[in-house]
Amino acid sequence: MDFQRPVEAVIPGVQGRILAVLSETTAELNLRTIARLADVSPAQASRLLPELVALGIVERREVPPSALFVFVEDNVASRAVRALSRSRDTVLEELGNLAHQMEPMPVSVMVFGSFARGVAHAASDVDVVLVRPADVVEDDARWVTSADRWRAAARRLTGNPVQVLEVDETEVARRLRRPTTLWADVVRDGLVVFGSSLEEVRGRRSVLGRPALDR
């Protein structure tokens, strides 16, 4: 999925561009403003907008000497377009819901990289940090199965490749103490979709009662 331009990815051409602009605002816009924001010509906008008005997706209000157009949120087709425009937010929420179904559950799930920055396109990976509980070994059969299912479900949800960086919760403090370029990206861009933040994980104590920082 192209999460930079989700509406245009599904509804290509001038129609997708104009719908993307209108679905992102509740304001009334005149034809020239719509054309400029959608990067289409006024002539193209003037041909398409009456069709969208006829479908009930857009309302037109005469304000002589021009007209104003606004997205009709209650229209059934408009709801689908609006859902497309909010695809990234929906994915973040659903990734958290999927993590909640894992058994055992992770300590934290964070999305970073281009998806977290809001610039992921159709060829972009969805980069994820998956923090495994300290009392769950890496090759625990339940964990491996659950993590694989989560990754597969995330792939189906987004349509994009999903790259998972898995770490034990006791490793987090060390990774953050002298972060590599990758971990610097995680710290800068990371969005928590489930569980604790990395700072909260770093502050946890091990089962032996020692600070995580000492491990």
Residue 210: its pLDDT value, please? 52
User: pTM for the whole thing?
Assistant: 0.84
Distance CA 28, CA 68 (A): 6
CB 170 within 8 A of CB 137: no
Q: Digits of tens for pLDDT over the chain (215 positions)?
A: 999 999 999 999 999 999 999 999 999 999 999 999 999 999 999 999 999 999 999 999 999 888 999 999 999 999 999 999 999 999 999 999 999 999 999 999 999 999 999 999 999 999 999 999 999 999 999 999 999 999 999 999 999 999 999 999 999 988 988 889 999 999 999 999 999 999 899 886 444 345 444 44
Angle between helices 13-23 and 42-55 (to 10 degrees): 70
CB 37 within 8 A of CB 19: no
Query: Which residues 6+ apart lie within 8 Å of 202 measured at CB?
Result: 172, 173, 176, 212, 213
Q: Which domains does the chain have, with CATH numbers?
A: 6-84 (1.10.10.10), 87-214 (3.30.460.10)
Neighbours of 108 (CB within 10 A): 23
